[in-house]
Structures are given as structure tokens and as C-alpha cells.
Amino acid sequence: MVLTNTSIDLKEDFGIHIVVANAVQMDQLEGIKVDFLSFLRRQLKNNAIRIHATIGYVATKEKKFFTDDDKLKFLMENYPVVAELRKKFGLEINY
């Protein structure tokens, strides 16, 4: 869960820079860091991988949708073909 809402930046020197939102997430990351780093090194066959973490602002990228209407509106705004298909086939979202 720690890595789901973080900003991860890969560096050219095999460094991984992780920005977490608060001290709690930093503590959780420190708890899994050794195992996570060991796993990455073993799977990628690269002992030069390093992990560096800091606390900072993490912008959430995903938008939450609460209703089917919100989902449809988002899809029609971002994918105009959805609006065309809905109109062409007479599709409705409500059962």
C-alpha cells in the first residue's frame, strides 16, 4: 500500500527516488525497504540499485467516480467515440 500513492522517479545511476506523503508512509517504507530492495536486485540482476525516499507532496493522479453518470461523462469527454457509439446504438447506462 505504501507504493500506491507515491511519486517514483527512476534515475540513470540505477537509483529509485520515492516521494511519500507523510512520516507514517515513510516508516512503512522503511519497514519494507530492505526486502523490496533485495527483491529488485535479485529479479533485475543488478546490485547497483539504490532506493532513496523523502517526504513531500504527492499529487494524486486518479479521479474518483461515484456514479455511473460521472463515469460516462468522463469517458465521453476524453473519448468522443464513446458518445458516438452511445448515440448510434441507443445505449443507456441505467438498467
Is the entire prediction scored with pTM above 0.75?
no
pLDDT of residue 60: 58
Measured CA to CA in angstroms, residue 79 lies from 11, 23, 76, 91, 92 at distances of: 34, 39, 5, 16, 17
- pLDDT tens track of the chain, all 95 residues? 778 778 889 998 999 999 988 889 899 999 999 999 999 999 999 999 999 999 987 555 667 778 888 888 888 888 889 989 988 998 887 65
The amino acid at 15: G
pLDDT of residue 51: 95
pLDDT of residue 3: 80
pLDDT of residue 21: 85
Task: Please give the Cα distance from 95 to 92 (Å, whole number).
Answer: 8
End-to-end CA distance of the chain: 35
The amino acid at 72: L
